[in-house]
Amino acid sequence: MDSGHLGCTRDTAREMSRENVETVRRGYEMWARDGFEAVLSEFVAPDVELHDIVEMPDGRVWRGHDEARAMWTQWQETWEEFQFSLQDAADLGGPHVLARISAVGRIRGSEASVELAFYEVWTLRDGKGVRRIAAVERDAALKAAGLSE
């Protein structure tokens, strides 16, 4: 095999991995700036699978844009105010990106602030998120996504 061809393949894979990390970063920036609907239309594929945090006892998978909207509505009904922020994003190889997220909010009817840190494994296709697995523990997120180290 031509070694130059192998170098191009590795370079292409590396560039795609960088692009995937930047796509996740831009998605979180867009969410903070423009809101959920903007991210849904620009960053999330129509056939997306959004998995609730795996440690949740009643967690489920939300499929497609309509169910993503239902998930977001349920979230807004629970929380009076909240903010998500991307703390870090790392290439996991191929189409996968590991994101470390922090969330701060207040549950409706409560004065207490709640802080939560969790991990998401995003799988991307053609520059859009097609699957998100979330977990409180990094290893749990990787395992649930089939990417255990």
Q: Are 88 and 94 in contact (CB under 8 A)?
A: no
Residue 149: band (very low, low, confident or very high) from pLDDT cuts 50, 70, 90? low
- Print burial letters for 74-111: b (CB count within 10 Å at least 16), e (below 16): eeeeebeebeeebeebebbeebbbbbbbeeebeeeeee
Q: Are 106 and 114 in contact (CB under 8 A)?
A: yes
Q: Are 136 and 55 in contact (CB under 8 A)?
A: yes
**Is pLDDT of 148 > 90?**
no
Distance from CA of residue 95 to its chain's centroid? 12
For the beta sheet containing 113-125, the strands, ordered from the edge strand earlier in sequence to the opposite edge, are: 61-63, 44-53, 128-135, 113-125, 96-107, 79-91
**Is pLDDT of 25 > 50?**
yes
**Is pLDDT of 57 > 50?**
yes
Residue 30: band (very low, low, confident or very high) from pLDDT cuts 50, 70, 90? very high
C-alpha 110/C-alpha 116 separation (Å) is: 16
Note the pTM of the prediction, 2 decimals.
0.86
By DSSP bridging, strand 44-53 and strand 128-135 are parallel
User: Sign of torsion, CA 98 101 107 112?
Assistant: positive
Tell me what the mean pLDDT of segment 129-136 comes to: 97
> What percent of the chain has a predicted confidence (pLDDT) above 70?
89
Tokens of 73: 């509505």
Give the model's pLDDT for residue 13.
Answer: 54
Model confidence over 63-112: pLDDT tens digits? Answer: 999 999 999 998 888 888 888 899 999 999 999 999 999 999 998 888 88
More confident residue, 2 or 129: 129
What residue ranges define each of the domains in the chain, with the CATH number in brackets?
3-144 (3.10.450.50)
